[in-house]
């Protein structure tokens, strides 16, 4: 069996002069085990030693050897020693009331050098104690990058000395929309808050002691309503609360952004500065005379190119100051510049395009990495957006797509989780969304795919949730997880399996699921319409005909639909089921009306069907749209028995 060494209450620790390790942090980390640290300059008597040895192992990796003589941690860099310390902490256990450490030899290094979490403070300000609490856990998980989303339409959260109104006006709102984004319900409460530059320095220092780099994000040109409410002259209309995109035609916009960025780069040592770039509507640029003049002067053919013009100018400015830019994947659209790193969020395509062009990319596709999505059966969870994203699904993510060459794969810097907080007002709630899903992200970022084993990870995650609770975090209770919609676990057998389906109206390419097989493949959908098992139809009736191949006795025709008000997914107004023997003359079997209101805020499912006795070769299933513009219908399977 494994041998153990008692480590006693007093642990003598040797740090080599160039180790870069922080004594206070080591004491702090080990304090909850009951161990007291005694630092010594005499390496040969120390129980635990930290030494930098060039070429020990890859960047940020470490070797840890523990035997009768003590524990030696070696690494090529301070980060490696730090992660060796984290492993040492994890290895400490108690036997017969004595703390012990097993005899081990570990050589460990990370798969990616970008292991990150993004926190959105634009929507709700969290405050420095909560950010530090997050950084503590990220350090234990060997994550090295904190992407700090400090500005958004709903609030500017960083003090800028040159523009004090940004935090005074742009950092405060009178009321907050609650419920779905189209709810028209407001809470009537003031929300405000920002970090002073002193607090920012304190947090950067706190993160640095935990080997975490903070990458600030200053949003442009979209998601900037709070700036334009404060300085309307930077918008196309010149009026507050009209535009969310900066006017690219006026030089004042560039003067403003460069002044802001000068203060940002003075504060943050990060090599990378995130400049947003996502979801600009660009609509005001099409009619703004100043933007139109800019396009003419610069020979730009589209508003996408106008966005790229601005991103390239800001990029050059930051490059001239020794920094590099990261942007959300929309920065590709009007032409990507050579030094930009792309953060791929609308799937993996942006990241793939970027590395094929020779640029770096960070993978954070919504489907796997957006921790603001529901993590369990939606109607048992607080309001969330983006879909149904379980711990298992996060863990299944592979950041390097198979389609990449080895050289392209090297340009994938790593993986990141994002927590957007539109529906996450409190620290307790955001902890609930992050933990334990962040554990899966940390492990994908560190370990090779070959060692991934879900059952093993799940067991460890259950233990970790208990530890997180003891440490004062508020994790989702993984032990009570309900799981996906029960029907989705088992294939259903019926007469239409594999039969030909003719569509009167096409399905949307965005929600094609498995294409023409989807409705007759025996696979039922899960809790969410966007899980590639539900097929979606926009702004039309759902109208399909199934050819059973020959005249058949039928007793039942059924299909289920889904409703979720936020993303405009509706139940049909009415369903008409009819049958035919010759494909020309149809008899109506059933007409079924919907009795569920579109105003309900929660997720709804409803079956529409017919039962009886009939002979038919063709079954036509028609579900009428409720007529709300931009509305969707989603169904998973037409079941005929
Ligand atoms: C994003 O989710 N808008 C980057």
CA angle (133, 432, 413) in 5-degree steps: 70
Answer yes or no: is pLDDT of 386 > 90: no
Answer yes or no: is pLDDT of 222 > 90: yes
Contacts of 625 (CB under 8 A, 6+ apart): 537, 539, 540, 541, 542, 570, 572, 573, 631, 633
Count of alpha carbons within 13 Å of 234, Cβ hemisphere only? Answer: 21
Classified as helix, coil or strand, 308 is helix
- pLDDT of 595-635, one tens digit each? 999 999 899 999 999 999 999 999 999 999 999 999 999 99
Atom of ligand 1 nearest to the CA of 370: 2
CA dist 303 to 104, 249, 254, 337, Å? 59, 12, 17, 17
Q: Whose CA is nearest to atom 1 of ligand 1?
A: 278
- pLDDT of 480-537, one tens digit each? 999 999 999 999 999 999 999 999 999 999 999 999 999 999 999 999 999 999 999 9
Atom of ligand 1 nearest to the CA of 343: 4
- pLDDT of 461-485, one tens digit each? 999 999 999 999 999 999 999 999 9
Dihedral class, residue 334 (left if φ above 0, else alpha if ψ from -120 to 50, else beta): alpha
**Predicted local confidence at residue 28, as pLDDT:** 95
- Please tell me if the CB atom of residue 279 comes closer than 6 angstroms to any atom of ligand 1: yes
Q: Which of 572, 451, 586 is closest to 108 using CA atoms?
A: 451
Mean pLDDT of 234-252: 97
Beta strand residue intervals within 155-295, DSSP E: 155-156, 172-173, 177-178, 185-186, 191-192, 213-220, 272-276
CA dist 602 to 105, 180, 365, 483, 503, Å? 52, 10, 25, 18, 30
Confidence of residue 183 (pLDDT cuts 50, 70, 90): confident
Catalytic residue among 149, 223, 274, 423: 223
- pLDDT of 334-382, one tens digit each? 889 889 999 999 999 999 999 999 999 999 999 999 999 999 999 999 9
**Dist. CA 278–CA 219, nearest whole Å:** 8
No. of H helices and E strands in the chain? 16, 31
- Please tell me if the CB atom of residue 114 comes closer than 6 angstroms to any atom of ligand 1: no
pTM: 0.95
Atom of ligand 1 nearest to the CA of 328: 4
- Please tell me if the CB atom of residue 345 comes closer than 6 angstroms to any atom of ligand 1: yes
**Predicted local confidence at residue 8, as pLDDT:** 79
Q: Whose CA is nearest to atom 3 of ligand 1?
A: 278
CA dist 220 to 60, 246, 392, Å? 33, 7, 34
Answer yes or no: is pLDDT of 205 > 90: yes
Q: First vs last Cα of the chain: how many Å apart? A: 59
**Dist. CA 48–CA 330, nearest whole Å:** 49
Active site (annotated) includes residue 223: yes
Residue 475 tokens, joined: 């994790």
Radius of gyration of the chain (CA): 28
**Predicted local confidence at residue 630, as pLDDT:** 96
Mean pLDDT of 34-58: 94
Mean pLDDT of 92-104: 93
| Helices 78-91 and 128-140, packing angle to 10 deg | 80
**Dist. CA 8–CA 594, nearest whole Å:** 70
């Amino acid at each position: 069996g494994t041998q153990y060494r008692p480590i006693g209450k007093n642990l003598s620790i040797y740090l080599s002069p160039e180790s870069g390790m922080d004594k206070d942090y080591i004491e702090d980390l080990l304090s909850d085990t009951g161990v007291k640290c005694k630092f010594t300059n005499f390496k040969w008597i120390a129980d635990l030693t930290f030494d930098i040895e060039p070429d020990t192992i890859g960047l940020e990796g470490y070797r840890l050897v523990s035997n009768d003589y003590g524990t030696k941690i070696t690494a090529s860099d301070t980060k490696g020693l730090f992660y060796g310390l984290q492993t040492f902490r994890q290895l400490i256990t108690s036997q017969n009331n004595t703390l012990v450490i097993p005899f081990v030899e570990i050589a460990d290094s990370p798969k990616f050098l970008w292991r990150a979490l993004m926190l959105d403070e634009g929507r709700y300000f969290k405050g420095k104690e909560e950010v530090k609490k997050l950084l503590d856990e990220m350090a234990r998980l060997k994550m090295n990058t904190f992407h700090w989303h400090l500005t958004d339409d709903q609030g500017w959260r960083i003090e800028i000395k040159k523009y004090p109104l940004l935090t005074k006006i742009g950092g405060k709102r009178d009321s907050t929309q609650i419920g779905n984004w189209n709810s028209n319900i407001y809470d009537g409460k003031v929300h405000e808050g920002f970090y002073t530059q002193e607090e920012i320095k304190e947090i950067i220092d706190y993160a640095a002691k935990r080997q975490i780099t903070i990458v600030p994000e200053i949003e442009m040109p979209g998601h900037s309503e709070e700036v334009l409410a404060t300085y309307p002259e930077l918008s196309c209309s010149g009026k507050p609360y009209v535009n969310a995109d900066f006017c690219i035609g006026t030089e004042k916009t560039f003067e403003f952004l460069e002044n802001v960025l000068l203060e940002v780069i003075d504060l943050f040592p990060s090599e990378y500065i995130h400049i947003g770039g996502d979801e600009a509507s660009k609509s005001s640029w099409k009619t703004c005379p100043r933007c139109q003049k800019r396009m003419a002067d610069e020979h730009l053919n589209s508003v996408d190119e106008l966005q790229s013009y601005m991103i390239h100018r800001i990029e050059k400015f930051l490059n001239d100051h020794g920094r590099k830019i990261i942007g959300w994947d929309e920065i590709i659209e009007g032409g990507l510049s050579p030094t930009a790193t792309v953060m791929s969020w609308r799937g993996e395509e942006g990241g793939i395009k970027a590395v094929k062009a020779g640029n770096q990319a960070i993978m954070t596709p919504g489907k796997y990495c957006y921790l603001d999505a529901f993590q369990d059966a939606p109607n048992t969870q607080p309001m969330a957006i983006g879909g149904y994203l379980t711990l298992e699904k996060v863990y299944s993510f592979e950041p390097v797509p198979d389609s990449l060459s080895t050289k392209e794969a090297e340009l994938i810097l790593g993986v990141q989780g994002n927590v957007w907080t539109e529906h996450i007002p409190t620290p307790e709630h955001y902890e609930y969304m992050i933990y334990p899903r962040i554990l899966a992200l940390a492990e994908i970022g560190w370990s090779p795919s070959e060692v991934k084993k879900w059952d093993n990870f799940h067991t460890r995650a259950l233990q970790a949730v208990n530890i997180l609770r003891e440490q004062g975090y508020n994790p989702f209770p993984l032990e009570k997880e309900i799981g996906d919609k029960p029907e989705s676990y088992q294939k259903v057998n019926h007469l239409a399996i594999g039969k030909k389906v003719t569509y009167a109206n096409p399905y949307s390419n965005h929600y094609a699921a498995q294409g023409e097989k989807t409705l007759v493949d025996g696979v039922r959908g899960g809790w969410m319409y966007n899980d590639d098992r539900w097929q979606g139809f926009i702004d039309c009736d759902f109208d399909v005909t199934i050819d059973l191949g020959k005249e058949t006795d039928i007793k039942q025709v059924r299909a289920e639909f889904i409703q979720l008000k936020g993303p405009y997914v509706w139940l049909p107004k009415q369903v008409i089921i009819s049958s035919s023997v010759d494909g020309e003359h149809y008899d109506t079997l059933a007409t079924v009306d919907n009795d569920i209101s579109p105003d309900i805020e929660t997720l709804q499912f409803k079956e529409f069907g017919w039962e009886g006795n009939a002979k038919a070769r063709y079954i036509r299933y028609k579900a009428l749209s409720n007529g709300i513009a931009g509305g969707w219908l989603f169904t998973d399977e037409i079941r005929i028995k």
